[in-house]
Each structure stands twice: as C-alpha cells, then as structure tokens.
Amino acid sequence: MAKEKNPYSDTLNLPQTDFPMRAGLPVNEPKWVHRWLDEDIYGKIRAKRMAEGAEKFILHLGPPYANGHMHMGHALTYVLKDFIVRSKFMAGYDSPYVPGWDCHGLPVEWKVEEGIRKEGKTKYDYSTKEIRDRCRAYANKWIDVQKGEWQRFGALGDWDRPYKTMDYANEAGIVRELGKMVARGLVYKGLRSTMWSTVEETALAEAEVEYKDKESTCIYVKFAIEGKENEYIVIWTTTPWTMPSNRAIAYAADETYVALKVEGSTDESLAKVGDTLWVAAKLQEELIRTCGITEFATVGTQQGTDFDGWVTKHPFYERESKLLEGFHVTTDSGTGFVHIAPAHGQEDFQIGREQGLELHCPVLGNGVYDETVEIFGGQHIWKAQEKIVDLMRENGSLLHTYKYTHSYPVSWRSKSPLIFRATPQWFIALDEKTEALNGKTLREKTLEAIYGGGDLKKVNWVPEYGENRIGSMIKSRPDWCISRQRAWGVPITVFLNRKTDSIIDDPKVFEHIAKLIEQEGIDAWDSRIEAGKVEELFPAGWLAENNVNVDDLDPQRDIMDVWIDSGTTHAHVLRADSGEGQRFHRTDGKRPADLYQEGSDQHRGWFHSSILTSVACYDDAPYEEVVTSGFVVDGEGRKFSKSLGNGVEPRELLDTYGMDIIRLWVASSDYSEDIRYSDEIMKGASDAYRRFRNTFRFLLGNLHGFSAEKAMDVTNMPELEQYMLHRLHKVLTEVRTAYDTYKIHHAYRALYDFCNTELSNFYFDVRKDVLYCDAKEGDRRLACQTVLWHLLQSLTTYLAPIIPFTTDETYRQWFGENESVHMQTFHGPEANWQKDAAFEEQWNNVLNTRDAVNQKIESLRAEGEVGANTDVAVTLPLNGLTAEQWVEVLVVSQIAEGEGVTVAKASGHKCPRCWMYHETLAESGVCTRCDEALKTDGHTTKAA
C-alpha cells in the first residue's frame, strides 16, 4: 500500500535547509582552500587582531625538509599545529604562523648528483656554483609541491611569505649566528673520526654507508711486555693496515685474563715454545686452536684492571703502546685485548682523546700513508697491508694470520671499502667556560634553561618526560661537530690565520660577510676565494688596521651542518622579523616563541639544536613551551614501513575521506603517545563526522525563518532552554580549558559527547514537537530557536579549529557567503547561561527519571502495546515540575501525578497533526494547541 501523505504535514514547521547531508569533502574542500587564499582569511584575521592590540601567541614551525611528498607524520604534526593556531586566533590572540622549509643538506645534494649521473656525467663536470644552482631549483620544486599538499590539509598561515633556509636573508642570518658563537669563543677546530672513502676521497655521512661481505686478512699479534721476558699481550685485528697507527691496547676491566706458557705447537704454528701469552680466559681455547698451540701451562690469572699501567712495545716501531681500559672491549671474539689506533676508529678515537694519545691520521685522503709513517710511507694502505703482515712474521711478532669474510662498510656509490680517518672538523664546545655565559659552559647554561636554574626560567615541557629526555641528551652529548665537506650548505665563514694559529672572530668581519651573502647568497664566499679576492670578504681597511696579511689566511671551505640552519631559525626567522610592525614583534618580554610543537624525535633534533644555539647566542631558550607528539602507527601499534606493507599516504586518504575526517581522526587521538591509524579507526572518524554534520543540518533546518533580532533573553526562556544553555556553558568551559592545555582530544570528546548525549538524544528529540507543531513565532518556539542559534554559533566556532571546512560551510550557510567562521572568536560561554547548583541538581534528576520512564516504555513496546513515546501516558511524582514540562521532556502524551512511576497506553484521541493523545480534540479535528497554531500561522484549520 502506497504511503499516504499526512494532510497536516504542510502545516508543520519542518526543517528547511540547502545544507546537504552528504558533504562531498574530497571534491569540495579544495574549493575552500582556494577561497580562503583568495579572501586572504589569514591576513584579515591578523589585521583584525593587530588592530585590537591582541596579545601575541607565537607557534614557531620546525621547517620540513624540501624533498618528497608530505607523509602521514607531516599530516599529523601540521594538523596539530593548525588546531593550536586556529584555537588561539579563536580565543582572541594574534597568532602569526609562518610556514617554512629546510633546504640545504645532503638529501637534496644527492638527488641532484643522481640527476647528473643520469645525464651520463659526474659532479666534477660541474662547478660548485652550478651544483648549488641545481640544488636550489630542486628544493624550490619540492617546496611548491609540499606547499600545495600542506594547504590542502586546511592549514592557516602566511602562505605568501614563507621562510626558506636557502633564502639569501636566512643564509646571511645563519652566518651571523655562527659569528656570534665564534665571537663568544665557542667554536674550535679539532679532529673527529669519520667514515672515509679513499676512492671518492671524501667523508661519508651515516646514510651513505652500506654493508657488504668483504674478505679481510686477520692477524693475531704479540706485543712484548716491557720489563718481562718473553711475555706478551696478544691482540687480534681484521685491519692490519692500522698497525702503524697503533698507540695503545685496551682491555675489558671486568674480564678475567690468563697467561699461557706455550710448551708445544704444530709445525705450521708461529707460536714459540717458551713464550707466555696473555689472553681473556673466555677466549683462550679459540687462541690455542687457531694458533696451533698443542701444549701449554696456565702460569697466571688476573683481572682486566690489573693491567693498568702495563706498557708494551710496538711490534715494529721503536715506541711504546700502553695498556688502557676500553669500554668497548668484549670477549665475543678476538683475544679480549683490542689494539687502539685512535686515527682509525670511532671508539679508538674517543679513548685516544680521553687518554691524550696521538690522534694524527697518517693516512691521506687517497688511502696512502703520509711521510711520517716509517717504512710504509707513500704506499697505499691496501697494498702495504700484506707487507706489514710479512714484516711482523719476519720479526716474530705475528702469531697467526688467516682470511676471514665479514660484513664491512662500503660506499653506497662506489662500493669500495671504507676506512675511519681522524679528520679536522669544526666544533661547538659544550664544556668551554665563557664570559658571555657568566663564566659557565654552554652545557651548564642549556641545562639551566631546560630544568630551570640560575636566572633562567624553566621551559615547560609537555608531556613532562620531555624535560628528562632532552636533559639527559644535553648532559651526555659530545661537542657538536658542525662542519661538512659538501657543496649545498651555508659556508663556515671562518679564516684560520696560519701565522698566528688563530681564527678571526671579529663580529665586524662576520657582519660584512653576512651582508655580501644577503646580496649574493652563499656563493659570495666561495666565489671570492676561488677568484683570489679574499680581501673583499673583509670590511674596507680592516686587514690593514688589524695588521693581517691576506696571504697568511686560510679561508675554510667546509659548510655547516644543516641542523645549524634550522636550529637558528629562532634568530633568522623570529628575531630577525620582530621589529616594530613586523610579524613577530612582541612587547610582552617573552622568549621569541611561545611554543615549539614537533614529534618526540626532535628532542634529539630541532628542540635540541635550537636551544643550544639560542643559549649560545642569546643566553636563553628560544621557546617558553615545547609540546611533543608521538608517531603514526598502524592498527596494531606497529610503525609504518615499506617491508610491512602497511603504509598509507595522506594523498590517498584525501580522496577517500577528505581532510575534515582526517582532522577528526587526529583530534580524537591522544597525540602525546603514538597514534594509531586503521580503516576501522577511520570509520569511527567518518561516523563522528556525520554526527557533527547532521547536528549542523538540524540546527540550520530548524533555524529557518529565525533571525538575530528575534532572539529571546535567557531570563524569559522556559527552564528547559535555560538548562540547555547551562549545559552549553559547562561544555564550552571544559573545551576552553582543553584547548588552553593542548588536550585537543578532550575538546573533541566533550563536543562530540555533547552533540550525542545532550543534543541528539535529549534536547533535539524533546523539542521537535515544539519546533514542528507550535506556531512559527510562538514563545516556546522562539526560545528554542534562540538556543539553537547559540548552539550553531558555539559549535561552529568551537569546532572551527578541528574541522575548518565543514564549520565554515555551515557558518556561511546561515550568516551569509561573506561571513567566515574563521573571522570570529569563540561564541560563549556567556555568564548568564550559568545556573546554580540546585537548578542543575533538579534537572539531573529529571534526566534520571526520564531514563527510568524510558525503560518502562521499552517493556511496553516489546509487548507491542505502543510504538512511539507519544502513545504513552505516565504517572510519576512531579517533583517541582509542571505536568506540561514532563510531557515535553518525556515526549509522552499524558502525565498524571502519582507515587511511583507507571506507564500505560495513552487514552483519548490522537491528534492527527502532532500525534499527541487528548481526551478531547478541537472542533477542527486537531488538538487545541495545533488548532491555535494553525490559526496563528494562517493555515486553514481543517486540512483540505
């Protein structure tokens, strides 16, 4: 049977709106992005806030690296930042947010070199300047791509004026910071153990190293102990070529060692009968077997520490090699003694430096021993290697040799084996006491900023454990090596004066160079050096005034670690742009940034480099507060990786869900820990989105015909409306606190639950009767609409930071195309919405009663007695409400006062218009309320 349309339907005030139920986010959001840019929403908000003299809130952005597409990690952190910036704007702050990019560094340079190779050429076919130009173009290409993706996230910001670390002004700014650190005596040149390719003749970064199987010549070598007859320390090594650089032997302090007296050996064995050999107890069997010892006696036992002070002779040079404790010595293999060549190993170098051993690297960049090396000087290490073994065999210090295949580091490009070389590098000193820091060291002063102390205010670390995390890193980190032997980066604009063996630290010189870089970019440095115009790098007359001969100067050709670039953005972005009327100008005496917000890996990265450079140059942290987030992991809590095949890209998600849903996913998660991503979780976000959207649609539909001047004063409203405003006051207060403390998921949760529980389940359901059936401008209806009107404004403004697309769509739907929600501030809570505790208590009881009644009605329904609540009559204690109010709240037809709660099928006649039961109906056939409403609104009382 075809459904017949109720003739009264047309006389009802049913919801009316063009706001579609289906959002079509993937298609519509990009239009909003363009619209916001066209309207310059960001610029307008800022102009408005500045005109108001609003307080500043500066969230400073850690620049993403200008290479590749935005991934989920980017999406997470840029959405979080946008929540914060937008919520600050909404709260009335002036919150400048400037996007930026980290541009220099290896990854871009690699990509460019890769491109060059594809052309069948090598980087040597190009000048450094040409390489840099290509790097610059490459970075710019990705900046354009990332900018589009970033904007698509819905991020508000100063898109017309982003910062780039490769902009000339920023490059100059980076040099200025270097100059400050040099002037403060914090920069020095020293040695560092680096991975080196003798083929490419260059130091390699960690990421350029691969591991491959390599066959090495292993040797057991005897070191004669001084003051003892035929008694030896035995070492084992896979790199015989490092023997000329041996300076010491390391033992493990807590291992037991034994002395074995050789009493018999095989014919091939090099072990001599009568020799006494020291070896770790755990490794003696291996030594005996490998070296062909057939008979022996254990003639001594002692702990590692007992070797302290022992001295041996180098196997083929006339010099000592003393025994030292080695933190890295294990008894997994070898002999429990490790030969130390400080120039040729990470741990060796560290021990060598701590113990004051000779660190000089006697191997040249091309792998040839220099002239200081006796016997083997001028020979290539790989070729000399066998000769070294032969020499030791001849002089009797070799105990055994064999070939051994193991995993060995090679250059990812040439696949040639790498070596460790101690090379000269530039460092920032962590432990140098300097006058500029009140006689304290950079490490001490930075710790004061982290933990609070001295005259420095403690940084607020959120979550709290961040404090300990970065603190323990600063406590234990070595000096900061800031030099790189590369092309794409800001030069270390330092001159070594060979004559005085000092560096030029005059700030005037740095400023002069910075000015040149401001004009010409980083090429200003190299181009003058290469053209032999070094004197141009000095202010006019400076050389003569300071009696410096330009020929004595050795201008450095290294570039800076890119962590200096981004680590100094507090200076060349924030401080440089903070003058009167400029973007970051602040008069509140706070640090340059209120907040840095990044993933927790940045305790080692950007938070770390930023606080060090800021303390080094300005004696204080660059930020008041640091908020960290976790990482995006899959539904099982595992990280995304190619090998697991569980990765997702924001670009795919945008096509299936749209950004507001992705943003809801972020908002619903506690980002202080890792946040999970799965299809199931995204389904939850989609469901939540639909709830919000339908709430908006209900509000818009029922506000049809309403306008601001019809709004009713709170005091004139029915109690139910007052109660709802009271509840709204409560939830908005909660959300404010949540935003203020960056607990976005609490804000989301409070608003979502409010929409579900207070609105959809209760208020909307209860008030549909009044909204649909009362006269259009009846008091009850206008009061209700006034509440809906506040709800519309509060919900859109409070949700605007989280779902900017949908809230703006909603807001403009009601307030007009030219009124963006993003130009507003939070709507409410207004003081007169709040009621006293007794009022709240009474209404909470009403809701409890409602639950009890509903349970009873549900049983009635199960018996098939009733369908909708309007079929029901209820008896209950009125408890201070009128029967009329109970009818409204329970959406039932009849209420009678009684002792307990009972429910029954309503009696009388059902009004065909509002479905409520009445003992009598009006003459027109509808109930008296409907009858009046029909008359007031000018409908014919009897439906045609």
Touching RNA, residues 721-750 (CB under 7 A): 745-746, 749
> Which of 40, 144, 740, 753 touches RNA (CB under 7 A)?
753
* Closest CB 242 distance from RNA, rounded Å: 19
Nearer to RNA, 111 or 697 (CB): 697
Asked if 674 is part of the footprint of RNA (rule: CB under 7 A), the reply reads yes
The Cα-based distances of 311 to 226, 391, 768 in angstroms read 6, 22, 95
User: How many binding residues for RNA (CB under 7 A)?
Assistant: 79
16, 472, 546, 716: residue in contact with RNA (rule CB under 7 A): 472
Nearer to RNA, 189 or 704 (CB): 704
Phi, psi at 897, each rounded to 5°: -75, 140
Nearest-approach distance from CB 345 to RNA, in angstroms: 11
631 binds RNA (CB under 7 A): yes
> Using omega within 30 degrees of 0 as the cis cutoff, is the peptide bond preceding 829 cis?
yes
Nearer to RNA, 160 or 332 (CB): 332
Q: Does the footprint of RNA cover residue 468 (CB under 7 A)?
A: yes
- Angstrom distance (rounded) from CA 727 to CA 733: 10
Touching RNA, residues 16-55 (CB under 7 A):
21-22
Could you give the angle at the alpha carbon of 309 between the alpha carbons of 307 and 310, nearest 5°? Answer: 60
Please identify which residue in the block is written with the tokens 């004669």.
Answer: 224
Query: In this complex, which beta carbon is closest to RNA, that of residue 288 or of residue 872?
Result: 872
Residue 742 contacts residue 84 (beta carbons within 8 Å): yes
Q: Which of 14, 375, 544, 878 binds RNA (CB under 7 A)?
A: 14
Question: Does the protein bind RNA through residue 768 (CB under 7 A)?
Answer: yes
Q: Is 238 in the site for RNA (CB under 7 A)?
A: no
**Using CB under 7 A, which of 274, 396, 439, 635 touches RNA?**
635
Instruction: Tell me: does residue 679 bind RNA (CB under 7 A).
Output: no
* In the complex, minimum distance from the CB of residue 209 to RNA, in angstroms, rounded to a whole number: 12
State yes or no: residue 545 binds RNA (CB under 7 A). no
Is 844 a binding residue for RNA by CB under 7 A? The answer is no
In the 8-state DSSP scheme, what is residue 469? H
Distance separating alpha carbons of residues 99 and 148, to the nearest angstrom: 12
User: Judged by CB, which is closer to RNA: 399, or 747?
Assistant: 747
Q: Return the number of the residue (130 or 865) whose C-beta is nearest RNA.
A: 865
694 binds RNA, rule: CB under 7 A: yes
Label residue 844 left, alpha or beta by phi (over 0 means left) and psi (-120 to 50 means alpha).
alpha
| Piece of 142-150, 158-166, 238-246, 668-676 that binds RNA (CB under 7 A) | 668-676
Binding of RNA by 325 (CB under 7 A): no
Answer whether 375's CB lies under 8 Å from 298's CB: no
The answer to whether residue 752 forms part of the interface with RNA (CB under 7 A) is yes
Q: Which of 465, 508, 655, 740 binds RNA (CB under 7 A)?
A: 465
Token pair 């002395």: residue:
259
Of the candidate spans 119-127, 228-236, 765-773, 792-800, the one that interacts with RNA by CB under 7 A turns out to be: 765-773
- The values of phi and psi at residue 384, to 5°, are -75, -20
4 touches RNA by CB under 7 A: yes
For the bound state, the minimum distance from the C-beta of residue 677 to RNA, rounded and expressed in Å, comes to 9
The position carrying tokens 């701590």 is: 354
Q: Which stretch binds RNA (CB under 7 A): 316-324, 526-534, 609-617, 851-859?
A: 851-859
Residue 794 as a binder of RNA (CB under 7 A): the answer is no
CB of 860 to RNA, least distance (A): 10
Distances (CA, A) of 439 to 11, 187, 443, 445, 504: 85, 16, 12, 10, 22
Where in 260-289 is the site for RNA (CB under 7 A)? Answer: none
| Residue of 541, 581, 589, 637 interacting with RNA (CB under 7 A) | 637
> Least distance in Å: CB of 763 to RNA?
8
- Largest separation between any pair of C-alpha atoms in the chain: 130
Considering beta carbons, is residue 166 or 611 the nearer one to RNA?
A: 611
Return the sign of the alpha-carbon dihedral for residues 367, 373, 378, 381.
negative
Name residues contacting RNA, limited to 696-725 (CB under 7 A): 697-698, 701
The tokens 């070296």 sit on which residue? 291
- Which pair of tokens denotes residue 244? 């000329």
Distance in Å, CB of 282 to RNA, minimum: 17
Distance (Å, rounded) from C-alpha 578 to C-alpha 588? 12
Q: Is 17 in contact with 554 (CB distance < 8 Å)?
A: no
Please report whether residue 684 would count as binding RNA according to CB under 7 A: yes
Interacting positions 574-603 with RNA (CB under 7 A): 599-601, 603
Please report whether residue 761 would count as binding RNA according to CB under 7 A: yes
Which C-beta is closer to RNA: that of 454 or that of 912? 912
Which range of residues in 100-108, 250-258, 633-641, 809-817 is near RNA by CB under 7 A?
633-641
Name the residue type at position 777. Answer: E
What contacts 904, CB < 8 A, 6 or more positions away? 860, 872, 873, 875
Q: What is the C-alpha to C-alpha distance for residues 409 and 216, in angstroms, rounded to an integer?
A: 12
- If DSSP codes are grouped into helix, strand and coil, which group holds residue 384? helix
Question: Before 463, cis peptide (omega within 30)?
Answer: yes
**Pairwise CA distance, residues 881 & 834, whole Å:** 20
Question: Do residues 422 and 195 lie in contact, with contact meaning Cβ atoms separated by under 8 Å?
Answer: no
Closest to RNA by CB, 663 vs 697, is 697
Binding mask 412-431 for RNA (x = CB under 7 A): --------------------
Q: Which is nearer to RNA, 259 or 921 (CB)?
A: 921
Nearer to RNA, 205 or 681 (CB): 681
Q: How many residues does the chain have?
A: 944
Residue 473 makes contact with RNA by CB under 7 A:
yes
Site for RNA in 881-920 (CB under 7 A): 912-915
297 near RNA, rule: CB under 7 A: no
Contact between 332 and RNA per CB under 7 A = no
Asked if 107 is part of the footprint of RNA (rule: CB under 7 A), the reply reads no
Rounded distance between C-alpha atoms, residue 629 and residue 373, angstroms: 53
Measured from the CB of residue 52, what is the shortest distance to RNA in angstroms? 34
Q: Measured from the CB atom, is 164 or 727 closer to RNA?
A: 727
3-state per-residue secondary structure call for 581-641? CCCCCCCCCCCCEEEEEEEHHHHCCHHHHHHHHHHHHHCCCCEEEEEEECCEEECCCCECC
Quick count: other Cβ atoms within 10 Å of Cβ 499?
Answer: 11
Closest CA to 374 of 318, 310, 329: 318
Q: Which residues pair with 865 in a beta bridge?
A: none
* Least distance in angstroms from the C-beta of 6 to RNA: 3
Sign of CA pseudo-dihedral 851, 856, 862, 865: negative
User: Is position 475 an interface residue for RNA (rule: CB under 7 A)?
Assistant: no
In sequence order, what are the residues at sequence separation of 6 or more whose Cβ sits closer than 8 angstroms to the Cβ of residue 854?
869
Q: Is 855 in the site for RNA (CB under 7 A)?
A: yes
Cα distance between residue 909 and residue 896, in whole Å: 17
Q: Quick check: 187 and 537 in contact, CB under 8 A?
A: no
Cα distance between residue 398 and residue 182, in whole Å: 49
Determine how β-strand 593-599 pairs with β-strand 59-60: parallel
Contact indicator for 331, 280 with CB cutoff of 8 Å: yes
Scanning residues 603 to 622, which ones bind RNA (CB under 7 A)? 603-604
> Interface with RNA includes 803 (CB under 7 A)?
no
Q: Is 508 in the site for RNA (CB under 7 A)?
A: no
CB of 684 to RNA, least distance (A): 5
Q: Which of residues 344-363 bind RNA (CB under 7 A)?
A: 346
